[in-house]
Amino acid sequence: MRTASLALALTLALQSAYSFSFPAVHSQRVCGVTGASSLPSFRCNAVGSSKTFLKSSKNWEVDHQASLTPKYWGDLARKNLDWFKDFSITTSGGFESGDVKWFEDGQLNACYNALDRHILAGKGDKVAIIYEADEAGDVTEMTYKQTLDRVSQIANMMKSEGVKKGDVVTVYMPMTPDVILTMLACARIGAVHSVVFAGFSEDAIADRIAAANSKFVFTTNVGLRGGKTIKLKQTVDNAIAKDRAKAIVEKVFLFKRTEEEVNFVEGRDIWADELLAKQSTTCEAEVMDAEDPLFILYTSGSTGSPKGILHTTGGYSLYAMHTTKTSFDLRDDDIYACVADAGWITGHTYICYGPLLNGATTTVFESTPLYPDEGRYWDMVERLKINVFYTAPTAIRSLMRFGDESPKKYDLSSLRVLGSVGEPINPAAWDWYHNVIGGGKATVVDTYWQTETGGHVACNLPGIHVAKAGSCRGGTYGIDMGILDPQTGEEQVGNDVDGVLVIKKPWPGMARTVLGDHERFMTTYLKPYPGNYFAGDGARRDEDGYIWVTGRTDDVINSSGHRIGSAEVESALVATDEVAQAAVVGFPHDIKGEGIACYVTLNNGVEMSDDMKKSLKMAVRSSIGPFATPDMIINAPALPMTRSGKIMRRILRKIAGGENEFGDTSTLADPSCVPVLVENARN
Ligand code: PRX
């Protein structure tokens, strides 16, 4: 282990001090060189030149067609993963009954493939993880060998405390290497991790513990982020105090990020650092069936409670590995940094599994883009000589506001690929990312995907495709993407069409089910357009065949790259004593992509005031988490309902967005409520 700062040094690596990091931050738009047809003229310089890239495919169409076959994935799986038992069936099942399987009779272990495999190949001294702690310049590096040692100790500690194959382990931790190591340790012993983003509230943790019947929780005393201390253990204690979680949780493993003292429950809590030190650094990797669960991750839908999306071992591992390699043109000596949080799917696939399965050097970033100032990312890029950087448009937009001076102070010439995720990247942000950050030569890769897809399903591939700012281009390897008419379900063939986005064939990285509710999985993704996976997004295919995602077709809000179900915000509001009814919608927001607007009908006798607005915002924060804080609370004595009693959200979105034209309002039971809402939205 080499340390780049006196402050952190060995102590940190050895005693695990860590904290949490930015939510799903990622952003982008790329310009690669391609063998493909016409170069779009706007905003897309065919930058990077083919020399910059791994290789330029002369014939993407042919390669892509070949990747749509089971043989493609079977060959890759044998070549790129170590199997304890080879598989004889590459794939089976389908969308019709939602029983998709990949490599089902094969056996492997994801952690073994992420660590041991590279060590056996002689890469034990290669840096696996660079930890950029909250204070700029506090950097600790861990080699593959050191990573495996500590993962094995965590795994042995878990076993010694009764964690068994198949148990669900809830992980509520800051962005320090230990969150990644804990995930890998779970994978090593066949436990199923359920990481809960460390910005979620105690209620959200309790819900997830209860839904997954999770007897074990990992946390730290506190987190550090942007110079602030976050009381993670206290939040976990409060979560477990709730009846629905109390009866379930048996053990809480507690790491130390600082020396701050916290409440300690004898018999339930375990000081992980102390117990770890006594564990062997050898732990046999459990033999897992390819279709055994690897993890669950909760995500929001348009209705009901969050869904526990379940990913399995073989298909997910292969897909995470392959997309990391191909979407970012990842090279062996790259320094790779995805500045998301491990609590979201981006952190799972593109901080932990994808890079490590490739034997790459991945960065764990604990801080925020604005700490100590707006140059934090660029300072880090210069110091660590980062080659591949992956963030979200919302972060790019928030940094652009400060102008070009800050990035210009730093040497960013190491950057070769700039990834974007979470929402379409608007042209202004694309240009800034590409030109100011990427020096006009780094490739911006717009990656479209979801928690459910496991990894990227659409992007412009560096060296293969020319990018258009704001378009994720089209299906990547193995992804057969289509656009359907939303009403008839008929495929919209050819270019210049729009509709709903679907994937027409199963791929290895797709989620297999919603934990405990396969019917919900079917109804949400596979039944709306039989024979297809329905992503929940609308899309347009332009005249060059490029796909432009136009946003969710359901009531999911995408705010700062976070997926927030309007139903969840509505229930938080109506759970207060003051609110009789609530309708929550997204509206265009300069920085966040979408802001959260809450129309609330107050109970009789309750008055709207600034204090009331504050308290309702607080109610949402404490029910879900600070990242879901509403941008607007709008007094709504009445909501625009159709005669059949359905709220016309389209109108609410327009009002919140400051529009004055609302289209046809004749189907409203009482159109007179609209001007009142317009007035209230402006106050
Ligand atoms: O609406 C799409 C949007 O984010 C949704 C998935 O959210 P989540 O599961 O939280 O995963 C976020 C990180 C992958 C999608 O349904 N989305 C994500 N990436 C893009 C995007 N929309 C347009 N372009 C993207 N690149």
- Residue among 560, 548, 346, 350 at smallest CA distance from 467: 548
Q: What was the pLDDT predicted at 683?
A: 82
Range with the lowest mean pLDDT among 78-87, 244-253, 453-462, 663-672?
663-672
- What residue's CA is closest to ligand 1, atom 6? 450
Q: Which residues of 570-579 are buried (b: 16+ CB within 10 A; e: fewer)?
A: bbbbeebebb
Cβ neighbours of residue 316 closer than 8 Å, sequence gap 6 or more: 110, 294, 353, 454, 455, 508, 509
Q: Yes or no: say if 598 and 573 are a contact pair by the CB < 8 Å rule.
A: yes
Which residue do the tokens 């008419």 mark?
A: 485
pLDDT tens column, 253-286:
999 999 999 999 999 999 999 999 999 999 999 9
- Residue among 209, 419, 262 at smallest CA distance from 326: 419
Q: Yes or no: say if 385 and 410 are a contact pair by the CB < 8 Å rule.
A: no
Distance, in Å, from the CA atom of 74 to the CA atom of 88, rounded to the nearest integer, reads 9
Q: What is the CA radius of gyration of the chain?
A: 24
Q: Yes or no: say if 223 and 174 are a contact pair by the CB < 8 Å rule.
A: yes
Best residue among 197, 298, 420, 421 to mutate for probing ligand 1's pocket (most ligand atoms within 8 Å of CB) is 421
Q: What was the pLDDT predicted at 304?
A: 75
Best residue among 197, 341, 549 to mutate for probing ligand 1's pocket (most ligand atoms within 8 Å of CB) is 549
Distance, in Å, from the CA atom of 31 to the CA atom of 463, rounded to the nearest integer, reads 9
C-beta pairs of 490-496 under 8 Å, 24+ apart in sequence:
492/541, 494/541, 495/541, 495/542, 495/543, 495/544, 495/545, 496/541, 496/542, 496/543
- The CA distances from residue 139 to 5, 221, 424, in Å, are 6, 21, 32
pLDDT tens column, 492-533:
999 999 999 999 999 999 999 999 999 999 999 999 999 999
19 has pLDDT over 80: no
Tell how far the Cα of 560 is from the centroid of ligand 1, in angstroms: 11
User: What is the number of the ligand 1 atom nearest to the C-alpha of 549?
Assistant: 23
Tell how far the Cα of 421 is from the centroid of ligand 1, in angstroms: 7
User: What is the number of the ligand 1 atom nearest to the C-alpha of 556?
Assistant: 1
User: What is the number of the ligand 1 atom nearest to the C-alpha of 451?
Assistant: 9
pLDDT tens column, 125-182:
999 999 999 999 999 999 999 999 999 999 999 999 999 999 999 999 999 999 999 9
Q: Using 50, 70 and 90 to split pLDDT, how confident is the model at 40?
A: very low
Tell how far the Cα of 588 is from the centroid of ligand 1, in angstroms: 16
Which H or E run includes 389? strand 388-391
Distance, in Å, from the CA atom of 417 to the CA atom of 439, rounded to the nearest integer, reads 11
pLDDT tens column, 562-588:
999 999 999 999 999 999 999 999 999
- What residue's CA is closest to ligand 1, atom 4? 422
User: What is the number of the ligand 1 atom nearest to the C-alpha of 536?
Assistant: 16
Region 66-72: mean pLDDT is: 98
Tell how far the Cα of 447 is from the centroid of ligand 1, in angstroms: 8
Q: What was the pLDDT predicted at 374?
A: 97
Q: What was the pLDDT predicted at 645?
A: 83
- What residue's CA is closest to ligand 1, atom 19? 422
443 has pLDDT over 80: yes
Residue ranges around ligand 1 (CB below 6 Å):
24, 299, 345-346, 421-424, 446-451, 472, 535-537, 549, 552, 558, 563
Percentage of residues in the chain having pLDDT higher than 90: 87
| DSSP structural state of residue 197 | -
Q: What was the pLDDT predicted at 428?
A: 95
| DSSP structural state of residue 380 | H
pLDDT tens column, 639-662:
999 888 889 999 999 999 999 888
Relative to beta strand 417-421, strand 388-391 is parallel
Q: What was the pLDDT predicted at 375?
A: 98
Q: Which amino acid appears at position 318 of this protein?
A: L
Percentage of residues in the chain having pLDDT higher than 70: 92
- Residue among 616, 649, 610 at smallest CA distance from 630: 616
630 has pLDDT over 90: yes
Q: What was the pLDDT predicted at 330?
A: 98
Round the average pLDDT of the chain to a whole number and report it. 91
Best residue among 302, 449, 559, 564 to mutate for probing ligand 1's pocket (most ligand atoms within 8 Å of CB) is 449
> What ipTM is given for this predicted complex?
1.00
Tally of CA atoms within 13 A in the half-sphere of 370 that contains its CB: 10
Q: Yes or no: say if 620 and 572 are a contact pair by the CB < 8 Å rule.
A: yes
Tell how far the Cα of 575 is from the centroid of ligand 1, in angstroms: 29
Q: Which amino acid appears at position 593 of this protein?
A: G
Tell how far the Cα of 232 is from the centroid of ligand 1, in angstroms: 27
φ, ψ for residue 682, nearest 5 deg: -85, -10
Q: What was the pLDDT predicted at 57?
A: 59
Best residue among 450, 468, 566 to mutate for probing ligand 1's pocket (most ligand atoms within 8 Å of CB) is 450
Distance, in Å, from the CA atom of 297 to the CA atom of 171, rounded to the nearest integer, reads 11
Tell how far the Cα of 514 is from the centroid of ligand 1, in angstroms: 18
468 has pLDDT over 50: yes
Region 318-338: mean pLDDT is: 98
302 has pLDDT over 80: no
Region 81-94: mean pLDDT is: 98
447 has pLDDT over 50: yes
Tell how far the Cα of 250 is from the centroid of ligand 1, in angstroms: 35
Tell how far the Cα of 535 is from the centroid of ligand 1, in angstroms: 10
Q: Per-residue DSSP letters for 345-357?
A: HHHIIIIIIHHHH
φ, ψ for residue 677, nearest 5 deg: -65, -40
User: What is the number of the ligand 1 atom nearest to the C-alpha of 552?
Assistant: 1
Q: Using 50, 70 and 90 to split pLDDT, how confident is the model at 231?
A: very high
User: What is the number of the ligand 1 atom nearest to the C-alpha of 420?
Assistant: 26
436 has pLDDT over 80: yes
Region 626-645: mean pLDDT is: 93
